[in-house]
Amino acid sequence: MAIYMNSKRTVLITGCSSGFGKSTAAHFLARDWNVIATMRSPKSELFDNSDQLLVTSLDVTKSESIFDAISKGIDRFGKIDALVNNAGIGLFGAHEVTSQEVIREVFETNTFGVMAVSRAISPHMRERGSGTIINVTSSAGIAPMPLVAAYTASKYAIEGFSESLAYELGMFGVQVKIVEPGLAPSTSFTANSGGRCDNFLRLTPTMRDATLNRCRSIPPPTPAQKMLRRPSMQRRPTVSTSCATQLAPIV
């Protein structure tokens, strides 16, 4: 069984309890990958039983948890071919009423968590001379919107990090790519924000209505605008896509 499992490709995905993470895990399983589906509080019942699935705990803000999950995955499947840094938390609200504590909390998961997991998996991929790290950022990186300033900043940081890391690891046969998904109903963006979005309610009704009207009036970017905002994408080592379900083809 171990030899059979080792012949298949293996992906470790963070933040699999809901939304893109859960769907991505199911997507890879359906394509005959071994899947290490991680989340802070493991829930095996989220997925059908499979010998190719390992559901385990991983908190991206805790180094011990990160290394433990990676170790369990390698022990189970022999190797990890791809990492999908999907874990993240939302933040919706006016920047002026968002505390520094809340902003730091968002960066701990969305930015520093991605960096920590990438750093932990890099030696394994570098020594094997192959691997792919996929960092999930946000469509806000293409078209920023009001009321998500801190959240957008936490995702923008990962885009720059990914580009630089791609050069560092590329010489060892390891690819680094980004995915920029848009908002989807199943992501529970505000629910996963843990009350961090409540600061928006502290705005006066007039300010709140004006802000919402402004959000509604912003037209979606045209394909040409997206290209202009990514003038060097053709030369970048990273790949941008708006659909998380397109992960497997770029691994």
Phi/psi of residue 62, each to 5°?
-130, 115
Inter-residue contact 165 to 116 (CB < 8 Å): no
Instruction: In whole angstroms, give the CA distance from residue 223 to residue 61.
Output: 36
DSSP, collapsed to helix, strand or coil, labels residue 132 as: strand
Instruction: In whole angstroms, give the CA distance from residue 66 to residue 60.
Output: 6
Tokens of 124: 């394994």
> Quick one: DSSP state of residue 236?
-
Write down the catalytic residue from 4, 151, 156, 167. 151
Distances 194 to 61, 101, 102 between C-alpha atoms, Å: 16, 14, 10
Residue 206, number of CB atoms within 10 A of its CB = 8
Residue 38 φ/ψ region, left for φ over 0, alpha for ψ in the -120 to 50 degree band, beta for the rest = beta
179 burial via Cβ count (<10 Å: 0-12, 13-18, 19+): buried
Q: Is 151 a catalytic residue?
A: yes
> Quick one: DSSP state of residue 28?
H
Instruction: In whole angstroms, give the CA distance from residue 26 to residue 17.
Output: 12
Which residue, among 107, 224, 242, has the nearest Cα to 178 in the 3D structure? 242
- What is the set of active-site residues? 151
